[in-house]
Structure 1
Amino acid sequence: MSFKIAIIGAGSVGFTKKLFTDILCVPEFRDIEFALTDLSEHNLGMIKAILDKVVEANGLPTRVTATTDRRKALEGARYIISCVRVGGLEAYADDIRIPLKYGIDQCVGDTICAGGILYGQRNIPVILDFCKDIREVAATGAKFLNYANPMAMNTWAAIEYGKVDTVGLCHGVQHGAEQIAEVLGAKSRHELDYVCSGINHQTWFIDLRLNGRKIGKDELVAAFEAHPVYSQQEKLRIDVLKRFGVYSTESNGHLSEYLPWYRKRPDEITRWIDMSDWIHGETGGYLRYSTETRNWFETEYPQFLDAASKPIDPANRSNEHASHILEALETNRVYRGHFNVRNNGVITNLPQDAIIESPGFVDRFGINMAAGITLPEACAATCMASINVQRMSVHAAVSGDIDLLKLAVLHDPLVGAVSTPEEVWQMVDEMVVAQAQWLPQYAHAVPAARERLSKSAVKTREWAGAARRNVRSIEELRAEKAALKQAG
């Protein structure tokens, strides 16, 4: 087979390499072309050198090109994969820093909550530019695979406004299933069969079977509470399991941001989170992790380049959906996964226009969703709160309506649990002014927002959050990695 895959935001070096090697685990795909594109020539050069080395070390005919000209990369592409973060870590820092001034403590802040909504405002205009290019220069019927957060908002915009065949992809379901298999004592993750449905980052394991035996709430709660690690790292997640009756796919820290109950009181936050790793609830944890990862890669690049000379081992193919979807579409080997698509009746008690994450099967006829799923009422209610925020956020991003943007933020569950309407109005003004360079649709609203800020009487505070850690230096990271290696 010979076709072209374009990767937008390919400067996300580690993830791009994983996608690349996963796809090349499919024997029929050895003779394809990867077109990498990114705003950063520096990052493009680094990732191209790594992928070229993979190709050379494995004696492959695969072609790798790299360009900052996005349309050139998209020309004739059959598949387009996006992993972009518009505004990079600079804008992301504001997504965490500014809400903290108003008492909003986020762990990740890239899905909903104040940070995720503003992230969507930056991404959606760019996503729609991608869609325009795909319609104009990509192969007829090209498929857009979106890995970028906020997943639901980006996918919603691409489908409703971009008019491109789009699927959103995430790995939360797989990670949650691995945890469940472990606590239940499965010898292999393949022993666990499950139906997981909801919306991205709020997907629920509504049916669990271990070797064909149905697993109920009480057995699952007992298994998690008996686990020496997860009982401490996933306290909030276990509490939700006890109350809702089903386990959430999302990590302890991420889940805490989507609910109005666990992060609204600073003195309560530490009760529910765990500081052993950023993903369990640390304030700004993903921002710190992302910053450290970027610094580590820049410093240790020669090691990454050297590692690229190892043979590709299909046994190490990851469970990221992209390579498996492409394999199913191109070879008709059926793949079952969980995909972000427009609902259209798949989940009976969520809106038709919502972007859901639910089971589907892929073959040469496309992605075919398993329809007729009904969520438990509490799960549907929690998803609905986020869906309403997502819908307003998407429409605000497309229209540049700052009043609708403020209403979206106001209706966010955690924001509404912490902040007053006056605080929300000022916070959004402050975030729009701070991020104006990435928000062209709000250019007309920035002068008035700046004027309101100069006259506002709403008080803020400089607060690092309830559980903040400093970014570690390269020396500290080296020492930690060495200690872990020595410990075995």
Structure 2
Amino acid sequence: MSFRIAIIGAGSVGFTKKLFTDILCVPEFKDIEFALTDVSEHNLAMIKAILDRIVEANRLPTRVTATTNRREALEGARYIISCVRVGGLEAYADDIRIPLKYGIDQCVGDTICAGGILYGQRNIPVILDFCRDIREVADTNAKFLNYANPMAMNTWAAIEYGKVDTVGLCHGVQHGAEQIAEVLGAKSPKELDYVCSGINHQTWFIELRLNGRPIGKDELVAAFEAHPVYSKQEKLRIDVLKRFGVYSTESNGHLSEYLPWYRKRPEEITRWIDMSDWIHGETGGYLRYSTETRNWFETEYPQFLEAASKPIDPAKRSNEHASHILEALETNRVYRGHFNVKNDGVITNLPQDAIIESPGFVDRFGINMAAGITLPEACAATCMASINVQRMSVRAAIAGDIDLLKLAVLHDPLVGAVSTPEEVWQMVDEMVVAQAQWLPQYAHAVPAAKERLSKSRVKTREWAGAARRSVRSIEELRAEKAALKQAG
């Protein structure tokens, strides 16, 4: 087989490398071309050198090109994968910093809540540019695989407004299933069969079977509470399991910021989170982790390049969906996964226009979703709150409507639990002004927002959050890795 895969945002070096090696684990894909594109020439050069080293070490005919000209990379591409973060860590820092001034403490801030909504405002105009280029220069039947957050908003914009065949991909379901299999004592995650459905980052394990035996709520609660690690790291997640009756795919920290109950007061935040790792609820945890990862990669790049000389091991192929979807479409080897698509009847008690995440099967005929799933009422209600915010956010981003944007932020569950309407109106003004360079659709609204900010009397505070940690230096990271290696 010979076709082109374009990766937009290929400068996400670690993730691009993972996708690349996963795809090359499929024997039929050795002769394909990867066209890398990114706005950063520096990052492109680094990732191309790594992928070239992999190709050379494995004696493959695979071709790798790199360009900052996106249309050039997309020309004739059969598959387009997006891993972009518009505004990079600079804009992301504002997604966390500015809401904190108004009492909104986020762990990740990339899906909904104040940070996720503004992240969507930055991404959606760019996503539509991608879609225009795909329609104009890519293969006639090109498929767009979106890995970029906010997943639901980006995918919604690409399908509804970009008019491109799009699927959103995430790994939360796989990671949640691995946890459940572990606490239940399974020898392998493959022993667990499950139905997981909802919306991205609010997906629910509504049916569980271990080696064919049904697993109920009480058994699952007991298994998690008995686990020496998860019982401490996933306290909030276990509490939701007890109350809702089903387990959520999302990590303790991520889940906490989609709900209005656990992060609205500092003392509640410290009660429910765990500080052993960023993902369990630390204030701005993913921002810190991302910053440290970038700094580490820049410093240790020669080691990453050297590691690329190792042979590809198909046994280490990851459970990221992309390579498995491509394999199913191209070879007709059926793949079962969980995909973000427009609802259209897949989940009976969520809106038809919503982007849902639910089970599906892939073969040469495409992605075929398992339809007719009904969520437990509490799960559907929680998803609905986010869907309404997502819909308003997408429409605001398309129209550049700052009033609708403010209403979307106001209706966010956590924002609404913490902030007054006056605070929300000022916060959105402040975020739009701070991120104006990445928000071209709001250029007309920036002068008035600045004027309002100059006259505002809404009080704010400089606050690091309830559970903030400083970015660690390279020396500290080296020392920690050395200690872990010695202990292991």
Q: What SS is found at the alignment partner of 1:362?
A: strand
Deviations 1:208-228 (A, max 9, x none): 000000000000000000000
CA distances 1:175-196 after superposition (whole Å, capped 9, x unpaired): 0000000000000111000000
Cα shift readout 1:260-281 (whole Å, capped 9, x = no counterpart): 0000011111100000000000
Give the secondary-structure state (helix, strand or coil) at the position aligned to 1:17: helix
TM-score (norm: length of structure 2): 1.00
Whole-angstrom CA distance in 2 between matches of 1:303 and 1:276: 27
CA drift at 1:115: 0.1
The aligned counterpart of 2:462 is 462
Q: CA deviation at 1:120?
A: 0.1
- Residues 71-106 of structure 1 deviation map (CA, whole Å, 9 limit, x = unaligned): 000000000000000000000000000000000000
Q: TM-score, normalised by structure 1?
A: 1.00
| Cα displacement string for residues 27-62 of structure 1 (whole angstroms, at most 9, x for unaligned residues) | 000000000000000000000000000000000000
Provide, for residues 363-394 of structure 1, a one-character-per-residue CA deviation record: whole Å limited to 9, x for no partner. Answer: 00000000000000000000000000000000
For 2:47 and 2:122, how far apart are their aligned partners in 1?
Answer: 25
Q: Counterpart of 1:129? A: 129
C-alpha displacement at 1:21, in angstroms?
A: 0.1
In 1, the alpha carbon distance for the partners of 2:345 and 2:264 equals: 34
Cα distance per residue 1:161-183 (max 9 Å; x no partner): 00000000000000000000000
Alpha-carbon deviations, 1:278-322, whole Å to 9, x = none?
A: 000000000000000000000000000000000000000000000
Matches within 5 A, 1:34-433: 34-433=34-433
Distance 1:442 1:39 in 2: 22
* Large movers: runs of 4+ above 6 Å: none
Q: Distance in 1 between matches of 2:441 and 2:397?
A: 7
Cα distance between partner residues in 1 of 2:99 and 2:352: 32
CA distance in 2, matches of 1:487, 1:156: 46
Structure 2 Cα separation of the partners of residues 326 and 139 of structure 1: 15
- Whole-Å Cα distance in 2 between the matches of residues 269 and 85 of structure 1? 27
- String of CA shifts for 1:392-416, please: whole Å, max 9, x gaps: 0000000000000000000000000
Provide the rounded CA distance (Å) in 2 between the counterparts of 1:173 and 1:113. 21
Secondary structure of 1:357 counterpart? strand
What SS does the corresponding residue of 2:81 show, helix, strand or coil? strand
Give the drift of 1:126: 0.1
Give the drift of 1:430: 0.1
Q: Distance in 1 between matches of 2:293 and 2:190?
A: 31
Shift of 1:124: 0.2
Superposed displacement of residue 343, structure 1: 0.1
Deviations 1:194-247 (A, max 9, x none): 000000000000000000000000000000000000000000000000000000
In structure 2, distance between residues paired with 1:50 and 1:317 = 18
Q: Deviations over 1:117-149 (max 9, x none)?
A: 000000000000000000000000100000000
Q: Output the CA distance in 2 between the equivalents of 1:171 and 1:216.
A: 24
User: Structure 2 CA distance, aligned partners of 1:152 and 1:448?
Assistant: 30
- Quote the Cα distance in structure 2 between the aligned partners of 1:245 and 1:143: 37
Task: Provide the C-alpha distance between the structure 1 equivalents of 2:2 and 2:269, rounded to a whole number of angstroms.
Answer: 52
In 2: Cα distance, 1:257 partner to 1:388 partner = 16
Cα distance in 2, alignment partners of residues 457 and 17 from structure 1: 49
Q: 3-state SS of the aligned residue for 1:258?
A: coil
Q: Distance in 2 between matches of 1:66 and 1:336?
A: 32
SS in 2 for 1:338: strand
Tell me how far 1:441 sits from its aligned partner. Answer: 0.2
Structure 2 Cα separation of the partners of residues 402 and 173 of structure 1: 34
Q: What is the number of equivalent residue pairs in this alignment?
A: 488
**Cα distance in 2 between the residues matched to 1:10 and 1:303:** 19
Task: Give, in angstroms, the shift of residue 15 of structure 1.
Answer: 0.1
Q: For 2:188 and 2:149, how far apart are their aligned partners in 1?
A: 30
Task: Name the SS for the 2:393 alignment partner.
Answer: helix
Runs (5+) with no aligned partner, structure 2? none
1:469, CA displacement in angstroms?
Answer: 0.1
Name the SS of the counterpart of 1:300 in structure 2: helix
Return the alpha-carbon distance in structure 2 between the equivalents of residues 165 and 259 of structure 1: 31
Structure 1 counterpart SS, 2:241: helix
Helix, strand or coil at the partner of 1:270: helix
Distance 2:75 2:396 in 1: 30
Q: Distance in 2 between matches of 1:7 and 1:477?
A: 30
Which whole-Å CA distance do the structure 2 matches of 1:268 and 1:108 have between them? 17
Q: How far does residue 443 in structure 1 lie from its aligned partner after superposition?
A: 0.1
Task: State the percentage of identical aligned residues.
Answer: 94
CA distance in 2, matches of 1:384, 1:26: 39
Query: CA offsets per residue over residues 322-343 of structure 1, 9 Å max, x none?
Result: 0000000000000000000000
Structural RMSD (CA): 0.2
**Counterpart of 2:486?**
486
Q: Alignment partner of 1:155: what SS?
A: helix
SS at match of 1:306: helix
Q: Deviations over 1:395-446 (max 9, x none)?
A: 0000000000000000000000000000000000000000000000000000
